Amino acid sequence: MQHIEPREPFSLKQQAEDALPSVSVIIVNYETSKFVRRCVESLTCQNIPIEIIVVDNASPSDDWRNLEGLPVRIVRNAENMGYGLGCNVGAQYAHAPMLCILNPDTIVPPDMMEAWLNSFAKLRESGVRIGVLAPALYNENGTLQRSTYKFPGPLTYWLYHSLLSGLLKKLRKAYGFPSLYKPHLKPRTVDWVMGSAMLIPKKAWDEIEGFSPSYFLYAEDTDLCFRLKNAGYEIIQDPRISIIHSQGEPSLENRALAITRFFRGLDTFLELHCPRWRRVGVRYSILMDLALRMTLLSVGSVLFSACHSQNRERMRAYRQIFAQFWKKLLR
């Protein structure tokens, strides 16, 4: 059940009363109005007609009220449906032939949306059947983020999701360390892209019925790209298109929940789309990584007792996930 706040149907730089927007931008809000306002402000610097749809996932503090007065259409969900289903709700109100999924913590540089759409048009003219066209994502300090991936496997788990990869990401964000992930110069086909910034033709979106309801948060972007590929579409990243992505960390009290949701989403993808040998390999990698995390967390709690209360919930989450994956391996 949704409640729609009345807004002008097409938000920005409308060329005529009956003009269709070039793209419908969908942003899901959950207590992130500060970031949403910044993202919307960046969208007002584009040189094409844009429709902006903000879906509020039942923010407990009525956070959506901080968005009143912005040139957006606000859709209010009666409950928190998760990221993917929130995007699905927003897509129901889209009028443009192109959908743009944006995280609240993204910033689109001036005129970049037009360049993004032009890149899509040129690739399509060259015969590429595009399901998703993604930009390069950058931290606010100018360092490049990894935003393209191969589908889950034992090796890719260690490269993308392990404790070591997470520590390296923090160092890059905090100190501007160079990434091992080197930029490419031309558009290229990839397995899947981060759901923080996706340009998707509405026709392809409708064909696969958007994000899967099997996910609440995390891995819904992996699943979307997988199903688009199975439907005959290409997942493309164009590094010439650049978007800023703050990639904020969850609050301390929500970190354990974020950990649980991440591993739950990853395991859902394994169950739905991966053969048994791959599922087993990834789960063994997860168990080894979790054992390492719990060991270091235990040592840290002893040496730095001030952090003990902050880490207890995280340790509980690791233990719970470890037990769940261990049981699945024993089946």
What is the band of 4 on the pLDDT scale with cuts at 50, 70, 90?
very low
Task: Give the tens place of pLDDT for each residue, 103-145.
Answer: 999 999 999 999 999 999 999 999 999 999 999 999 888 888 8
Which has the closest alpha carbon to 224: 113, 321, 105, 99? 99
pLDDT of residue 176: 61
Question: Exposed e or buried b for every residue in 56-71, given b needs 16+ CB within 10 A?
Answer: bbebeeebbebbeebb
Q: How many CB atoms lie within 10 A of CB 171?
A: 13
Q: Give the pairing of strands 50-56 and 106-107.
A: unpaired
pLDDT of residue 75: 95
Has residue 3 got a pLDDT over 50?
no
This prediction's pTM: 0.87
Arithmetic mean of pLDDT over the chain: 87
- Taking the C-alpha atoms of residue 162 and residue 124, their distance in angstroms, rounded to an integer, is 36
- The two structure tokens encoding residue 3: 């409640």
Q: What is the CA radius of gyration of the chain?
A: 20
- Taking the C-alpha atoms of residue 122 and residue 144, their distance in angstroms, rounded to an integer, is 25
- The two structure tokens encoding residue 83: 């990221």
Has residue 1 got a pLDDT over 90?
no
Task: Report which secondary-structure segment, H or E, holds 204.
Answer: helix 202-208
Query: Could you tell me if 270 and 282 are in contact, meaning their C-beta atoms sit under 8 angstroms apart?
Result: yes
Place of tokens 């944006």: 102
Task: Give the tens place of pLDDT for each residue, 210-245.
Answer: 999 999 999 999 999 999 999 999 999 999 999 999
Least confident range of 121-135, 146-160, 197-211, 307-321:
307-321
- Taking the C-alpha atoms of residue 235 and residue 230, their distance in angstroms, rounded to an integer, is 11
* Selected residue with higher pLDDT from 239 and 301: 239
Task: Give the tens place of pLDDT for each residue, 152-190.
Answer: 999 999 988 888 887 777 776 666 665 555 667 899 999
Has residue 146 got a pLDDT over 70?
yes
Task: Give the tens place of pLDDT for each residue, 40-95.
Answer: 999 999 999 999 999 999 999 888 899 988 999 999 999 999 999 999 999 999 99
- The two structure tokens encoding residue 298: 């235990």
| DSSP labels, 86-129 | HHHHHHTT--SSEEEEE-TTEE--TTHHHHHHHHHHHHHHTT--
Which has the closest alpha carbon to 99: 224, 201, 174? 201
pLDDT of residue 305: 57
Query: Could you tell me if 164 and 213 are in contact, meaning their C-beta atoms sit under 8 angstroms apart?
Result: no
- Taking the C-alpha atoms of residue 166 and residue 187, their distance in angstroms, rounded to an integer, is 27
Q: Give the pairing of strands 50-56 and 73-77.
A: parallel
- Taking the C-alpha atoms of residue 60 and residue 57, their distance in angstroms, rounded to an integer, is 9
